[in-house]
Amino acid sequence: MLHFRKSVVVSALVFGAICGGMAGYIFAGFSDLPDITKLEQYAPPVATKIFSSDGRLIGELFQEKRELLPYDQIPQYAIKAVLATEDARFYRHRGVRVLSLFRALLADLRAGKMVQGGSTITQQLAKTLFLTPEKTLSRKVREMIIALQLELKFTKPELLTMYFNQIYFGAGAYGIESAAQVYFGKHAKEMTLAECAVIGAIPRAPTVYSPANNMARSRERRSFVLGRMLREGYISSAERAAADLDPITLAPAKRTESSPWFLEVVRQELEQQYGSAGLYRDGLEVQTTMDYGMQISAQKAVAEGVKEVEARIKKRKDNPEGLPLQAALIALDPATGEIRAMVGGVDFKQSQFNRALQAKRQPGSSFKPFLYLAALESGMTPATRLIDSPIQLDDPAHPGGWKPINYENRFFGPVSMRFALTHSLNVASVKLFLDVGVQRVINTARKLGITTELHPFPSLVLGGSDATLVEMTSAYSAIANHGILVKPHFIHSVKTRGGVTDETHPTTAEATSAQNAFIMTSMLKSVVESGTGQVAQKVGFPVAAKTGTTSDFTDSWFVGYSPKLSAGVWVGYDIDKTIGEGETGARAAGPIWTNFMREALAGGTPVDFEKPDGIVEIEIDEKTGLLPDTKCGKTTREFFREDNQPTRSCKTLLDVRR
């Protein structure tokens, strides 16, 4: 008896030594295993979400489309579905099921390769978090060791939380919340038993069992999952039967209606500030400045406007090469500089070039307000007389001399500054440019935010130098904003994963006085009321605007604003090619601007531009711009700065002429 006991003890010691040696060998051979304590701050890649100003989700950026859920928001039916099919003894083992492993090992030996996993949910989590999907014995051993460590470190609910946030569910969805939204268009906590069974069936083979890939296989697998849930006692027979009859109704694929050009600018700015890792992994919450309704209106206006112009081009047979006509629109809040809508072209898939921000084109007569504002700053008034008559001058842009002409190819003689701008008189404007001086005009444009190169030639006043649409629209916005220029921007705020919110604080600068800005606005209102911009009357709100047309009708512009919204539109080809005879700013770009502004302002209360202190409106003689007299002719009303209103009577001018 004693001998037998000694044999048992010796055998036990030998077996223990062998097991200990094997364990020591295994752990020594796999000493480079990852540090699982890092999971205490579990932070898998999470999608960056981009929202419009009213909180509408307009885009996502991610390496893995994932949203994190706490344990109490993971539906119990989904947990039970996965447990029933993947690991029914999850709550009874410590990470590894020995018998399952032996069965899998035997199957592998019979097949001569690894064909069965025998993995628990904890092992699946270990593989997903730390290992590659290769099927080797070495990887399997690592998986087992990590699973054992995970079970020692975390509770079962914590492991399930990581599992349901980490696992791939097919169709680009990582984690159960993304899966619920991708497949069913709802939050995970809103899923039914039948939907949870569909989701629970997927992890075994996401490509095979995804309902988006194979509805029949998905329905068959769902039935299997429901059967397993019934056998495990998770659901009743009645629940199983009802769920088995439910149709699998997938959510329609989401359409990206918001501007891809807008989202691309936001993406570039975010990547520059937060880096690629921060952008694609850290789950930023980005509130942009986009007004979703205005963005849709902008896209609609551009599409319809281009279609109308192309129909005229086709009728005239002006585009035998079949080049795509392009257009761009940008709209912003003058007071804040927030970009409300932007369309950078006709088709983002065909061309990602952003014509609202990147294209440098000649603005034509839409540059003239900078000249007239410079004239106001130099002491002139809307009533200052200009002589619209033939002139020839030297201009480096026109070798051999330049004779500017008006669009209507006629001259109007003595006119007021208001009349000259209202009817976009080229010759009178060139003469005004010579009086005001090139440097003053350039300085005014610079203060309004024009940064592109400006050639100091007389043709500058007719848009002879390039500018971008965003620059032009922002410059007009400064006039709308009582002379204060606010830097345009696309992002309102960014909330980081750590809960810190970074807000945009744009720079501001005084471009001109509030009084000069108001008088300039009143002149641009005349352009709409009786000049080249009359198409904008269809907006139905007080607006101020200016047209722009380059020689040979190569570029068509329409830029303007209401008290609360500025917008600019450009139409043309990407190369210097005429749009066609008569395709002026009013005809080609004007309807796009008008249709957009009408929809953007719809529902609001019409508000006129606020008159600042220091402005007077008085009656003057229409022909001379001086104070009226019964011996003179017709009168009209005009705005002046208090310190710069006429003091002489028109009668004095008549006396001089006599």
- Per DSSP bridges, beta strands 285-288 and 555-561 are unpaired
Instruction: Compute, in degrees rounded to 10, the torsion defined by CA atoms 467, 469, 474, 476.
Output: 80
Q: Which residue has the tokens 């540059």?
A: 367
Task: For residue 285, report the phi and psi dihedrals to the nearest 5 degrees.
Answer: -110, 110
Residue among 86, 151, 195, 638 flagged as catalytic: 86
Task: Calculate the alpha carbon distances from 285 to 48, 139, 654 in Å.
Answer: 6, 37, 70
For residue 53, the number of C-alpha atoms closer than 13 Å in the C-beta half-sphere is 18
SS3 labels along 351-415:
CCCCCCCCCCECCHHHHHHHHHHHHHHCCCCCCCEEEECCCCEEECCEEEEECCCCCCCCCCEEE
Rg over CA atoms, the chain: 36
Residue among 178, 365, 416, 477 flagged as catalytic: 365
Q: Which two tokens stand for residue 19?
A: 């097991």
Query: Please, which residues bridge with residue 494 across strands?
Result: 286, 502
Buried/exposed 260-277: b ≥16 CB within 10 Å, e otherwise: bbbbebbbebbeeebeee
Q: Which two tokens stand for residue 62?
A: 């991610």
Exposed, middle or buried, 320 (CB in 10 Å: 0-12/13-18/19+)?
A: exposed
Is 365 considered catalytic here? yes
CB 295 within 8 A of CB 259: yes
The one-letter code for the residue type at 472 is: M
- Per DSSP bridges, beta strands 48-51 and 285-288 are parallel
CB 118 within 8 A of CB 104: yes
SS3 labels along 296-352:
HHHHHHHHHHHHHHHHHHHHHCCCCCCCCCEEEEEEECCCCCEEEEEECCCCCCCCC
Indicate the length of the chain as a whole number.
658
Of 617, 338, 297, 303, the closest CA to residue 488 belongs to: 338
Task: For residue 569, report the phi and psi dihedrals to the nearest 5 degrees.
Answer: -130, 135
- Per DSSP bridges, beta strands 326-332 and 413-416 are unpaired
- The residues, any chain, with a CB within 8 Å of residue 167's CB and separated by 6 or more, are 124, 125, 128, 174, 175, 176, 203
Task: Calculate the alpha carbon distances from 518 to 44, 66, 239, 431 in Å.
Answer: 54, 51, 72, 24
Of 480, 447, 265, 272, the closest CA to residue 356 belongs to: 265
CB 372 within 8 A of CB 416: no
How far is it between the farthest Cα atoms of the chain? 150
Of 405, 381, 403, the closest CA to residue 394 belongs to: 403
- The residues, any chain, with a CB within 8 Å of residue 61's CB and separated by 6 or more, are 47, 48, 50, 267, 270, 279, 280
Is 86 considered catalytic here? yes
The CA distance from 330 to 593, in Å, is 10
CB 395 within 8 A of CB 453: no
The one-letter code for the residue type at 242 is: A
The CA distance from 111 to 542, in Å, is 81
State the catalytic residues: 86, 365
